[in-house]
Chains A and B, each alone.
Chain A
Amino acid sequence: MSSLALDAKGLSKAYKIGKTRQQVLKNVDFSAYHGQVTMVMGPSGSGKSTLIAALSGLMRPDEGDVQALGESLWNKSSRKVDKFRLDHCGFIFQGFNLFPSLDATAQVVQILRYCGVGKRESHTRATAVLESVGLGARLHQKPAELSGGEKQRVAIARALAKSPALIFADEPTSALDSVNGQVVIKLLHEAAKERNAAIVVVTHDPRLEPHADRIIHMEDGNILSDHMISAPPS
């Protein structure tokens, strides 16, 4: 398999705000590789979140297409895009978005069950992935009993459990202190290396830069710079 995981060409997206039309993505080309953490940085309003929404199948761009794992993402029906995300995509958001009533294990099991994994198997996998993010002792805690860093680790475990080839993280550390922020980005980095996933992280946190394999700067809906720090694995 080619190590190119995502290849987007000519992505454009405009929002209508009142009577004015604001172009947030302007003919952007983008690629991401398996085994790499690609960091998209830029000030707020630069279009980076819209970019990952278009790359990940969350929001249809006005123009352009995305080749994701060799498939044309936006030529699919919305039902098939859902299925693509279920099979291949993990998401980590700034807010952890965990159901308050479910304990850590149940949060992970839930998504595995939707992927069609059996009950027993999904419990085994949930426990294993939670242990791998350092939550072996917190398996049965509900979100209210977990710290911010722990909640984000549950969210990461939920994203990693189905072994996705693509992981998208939107400001995953901005609600966390620096220690927890480092833990989270390290986990994402490990996921790239050990699971050969393509990880796209949108952030404006400069402390994360040392963990990136590639850094892309955006501003006003355009890519300003694309800096490859380590070459993608062949």
Chain B
Amino acid sequence: MSLALSTLIYEWRRYLAAIIALAVAGLLVLAMTGMFMGMSKSFTATVDRSPASIMILPPEAQSLFSNNSGQPRRNIPKIYRHADVLDVQALNMNWAFWSNFPKDGQPAKGDGVRVVIVDPVHGAVTLPNDFSDDLIQALQQPFSVIVDRSSLGKLGVQVSDPAKMNGIRVWVRAVCDGYASMFNASVFMSRQTAKLLHLLDDSQRVGPLVVKIKDPAQAQRVAAELNGMSDGQYKAWSREDLSDASQKSMLKEGGISVMIGFAVIVGAFIGVVITWQTLQGAILANIKEFASLRALGVSMGSLRLIVMELSLWVGAAGLLLTALLTGAVWALAKSFGVPMDFPLFVDLPVAITLIGIAILSGALSLGILKKSQPADLLR
């Protein structure tokens, strides 16, 4: 084991402040982006867990959220022209006003909810692939709805309670997990129930189309071929590409990027200052040992390398602690039903920045090595 690594392990208390500073800087940025990504993920949950491998959006849409103003219903038969396509359906979303029937002492709740319309039969392209048989059966009953477990409090209901949607009575037959939303709750219902509630929009314009194909592994190829056939009428996306693009567009277009940018600057500044000062102090504590190496003829360049290696290990330890803390925050958020998500395109820059902070701090600490004058060891 190298001197730098063994020093970090043996004298970890000395380096703890730097490691914590890095971890907190990382956590600050990751928690903010994670929460925001989680919010956007809750919007894309129905897409992410759709059995469809391909989504069709209007040609000008850059994601689910930007320039996605709907498309003509006649796009549906065009998609069937591709031989690999098995099923095409419009992903029906709507809005409704929800109110509960307050029990004794319970406050009345009224809120706008996002209605997700599915076909409750096995293999339906609109049915989320994590819906169990019980959920499917529950949805098959008229006037029954399903909500996410974390929305029960917000909607003021329990399982098997009645509620009103746009003034019509429905029953909460079951709860699902993993569709938590920071804002409006999602309410799942069958196409039939949606019709009964006058929520099924059968106009000539539809939202995203979900497409099931013969071999999901071929999604990229089929999407490219569909685009080749589109004549500029629509744009086909593989599910993963669309989910990625949607998250990124939320990050780019939301005001959150300013907040995250600010957090990065503050985090990096605090990280550099604390890490630099801690490293300097720790090196100073071993300065006589460094000086004895100098006396024995080890060059200043070699000592600098030790310090740089040390700072790199501090960065790695900071990164590890960031991961642990972020994991803990994630678990905590999950227990409160707050969705968080940490896509690689956020994690990677954060990791690189943290290592960069550690390296910069190491470079700033090099000056302290000038104090390693071996002649000072002589009394």
List the interface of chain A (C-beta within 8 A of B): 44, 49-50, 52-53, 56, 58-59, 79, 82-87, 89-91, 93-95, 97-102, 106, 110-111, 114, 142, 158-159, 162, 170-171, 202
Q: CA separation between A91 and B291, bound complex, in Å?
A: 11
Q: How far is the CA of A95 from the CA of B378 in the complex (A)?
A: 9
B297:A97 contact, CB within 8 angstroms: no
Total contacts A-B at CB 8 Å: 92
Given contacts A87-B297, A91-B296, contact A100 B379 (CB under 8 A): no
Whether A97 touches B377, Cβ cut-off 8 Å, given contacts A102-B3, A114-B298, is: yes
Complex Cα gap A111–B3 (Å): 11
Interface pair A170/B377, CB less than 8 Å apart: yes
In the complex, which of the residues A87, A95, A159 has the most CB atoms of chain B within 10 Å of its own CB atom?
A95
Contact A114 B297 (CB under 8 A): yes
Q: Would you give 14 A-B contacts (Cβ < 8 Å), ordered by A?
A: A85-B296, A87-B297, A89-B297, A91-B296, A97-B288, A98-B289, A99-B6, A99-B7, A100-B289, A101-B3, A101-B11, A110-B3, A158-B296, A170-B377
Secondary structure at chain A's binding surface: helix, strand, loop or mixed? Answer: mixed
Q: How many whole Å from A132's CB to the nearest CB in chain B?
A: 18
Min CB distance B79 to A, Å, is 64
B348-375 interface bits toward A, Cβ cutoff 8 Å, 1 = contact, 0 = none:
0000000000000000000000000011
User: Does B121 sit at the interface, judged by CB under 8 A?
Assistant: no
Distance (whole angstroms) from the CB of A229 to the closest CB of chain B = 25
Knowing A53-B378, A79-B299, A114-B297 are in contact, say whether A91-B292 is a contact too (CB < 8 A): yes
Residue B10 CB within 8 A of the other chain: yes
Min C-beta distance of B192 to chain A, whole Å: 71
Of A50, A59, A86, A142, the residue contacting B297 (CB under 8 A) is A86
Question: Is B302 part of the contact surface with A, judged by Cβ < 8 Å?
Answer: yes
Contact status B3-A99, CB under 8 Å: yes
* Contact between A99 and B296, CB atoms less than 8 A apart: no
Give the chain A neighbours of B374 by CB distance below 8 A.
Answer: 58, 91
Contact check, B296 vs A101: say whether CB atoms are below 8 A apart.
no
Residue of A with least CB distance to B294: A82
Evaluate contact between A58 and B375: CB separation under 8 angstroms. yes
Question: Contacts A50-B378, A83-B299 given; 10 further ones with Cβ under 8 A?
Answer: A44-B379, A53-B375, A82-B299, A82-B300, A89-B296, A91-B292, A99-B286, A102-B3, A114-B298, A170-B378
Inter-chain contacts of A56 with B (CB < 8 A) = 295
> Is A91 a contact partner of B295 (Cβ separation < 8 A)?
yes
- Most chain B CB within 10 A, of A56, A90, A100, A159, is at A100
**CB of B152 within 8 A of chain A?**
no
Distance in angstroms between the alpha carbons of A102 and B9 in the assembled complex: 11
Interface flags for B1-39 (1: CB within 8 Å of A; 0: not) read 101001101110000000000000000000000000000
- Chain B's closest residue to A95 (CB) is B288
Does chain A have a CB within 8 A of B263? no
B contact patch SS: helix
Q: Which of B10, B291, B295, B296 meets A100, CB within 8 Å?
A: B10
Beta-carbon nearest neighbor of B4 in chain A = A101
**Least distance between B372 CB and chain A CB atoms (Å):** 11
Q: Which residues of A contact B9 (CB under 8 A)?
A: 101
Report the minimum CB–CB distance from B23 to chain A (whole Å).
22
CB <8 Å contact, A111 and B379: no
CB closest chain-A residue, reference B288: A97
Contacts of B113 in A (CB 8 A): none
Nearest CB in chain B to that of A84: its residue: B297
CB distance from B274 to the nearest CB of A (A): 22
- Cβ proximity bits B274-304 to A, threshold 8 Å, 1 near / 0 not: 0000000000001011011111111110100
What is the distance, in angstroms, from A175's C-beta to the closest C-beta of chain B?
10
How far is B378's CA from A171's CA once the two chains are assembled, in angstroms?
8
Are B378 and A101 in contact, CB atoms less than 8 angstroms apart?
Answer: no
Bound complex: CA of A101 vs CA of B10, how far in Å? 5
| A174: min CB distance to chain B, Å | 8
Shortest CB–CB separation between residue A173 and chain B, in angstroms?
13
Contacts A87-B297, A114-B302; is A102 near B6 (CB within 8 Å)? yes
In the complex, what's the smallest C-beta–C-beta distance from B297 to chain A, in angstroms? 3
Chain A residues with CB under 8 A of B298: 82, 86, 111, 114
| Interchain CB contact under 8 A, A86 and B378 | no
Task: Collect the chain A residues with CB atoms within 8 Å of residue B296's CB.
Answer: 85-86, 89-91, 111, 114, 158-159, 162
The 3 closest A-B pairs by CB, nearest first: A86-B297, A101-B10, A85-B297
Q: Which residue of A lies closest to B9 (CB)?
A: A101
Closest B residue to A102 by beta carbon equals B6
Q: B378 and A49: CB pair below 8 A? A: yes
Report the separation of the CA atoms of residues A84 and B1 in the bound assembly, to the nearest whole angstrom: 27
B10 touches A94 (CB 8 A): no
Residue-wise, chain B 163-206 has the 8 Å CB interface mask toward A (1 for contact) of: 00000000000000000000000000000000000000000000
Contact A58–B297 (Cβ < 8 Å) = no
CA distance A162 to B302 in the complex (A): 18
Q: Which of A85, A142, A202 has the most CB of B within 10 A?
A: A85
* A93 to B11 alpha-carbon distance, docked (Å): 23
Measured between beta carbons, the chain B residues less than 8 angstroms from A83 are 297, 299
On whether A82 and B289 interact (CB within 8 A), knowing A93-B377, A101-B6, A114-B302, the answer reads no
Residue from A89, A93, A106 in contact with B378 in the complex, judged by beta carbons closer than 8 Å: A93
**A45 to B118 alpha-carbon distance, docked (Å):** 92
Q: With A and B bound together, what is the CA distance between A56 and B375 in angstroms?
A: 10
Binary contact readout B53-76 vs A (1 if CB under 8 angstroms, 0 otherwise): 000000000000000000000000
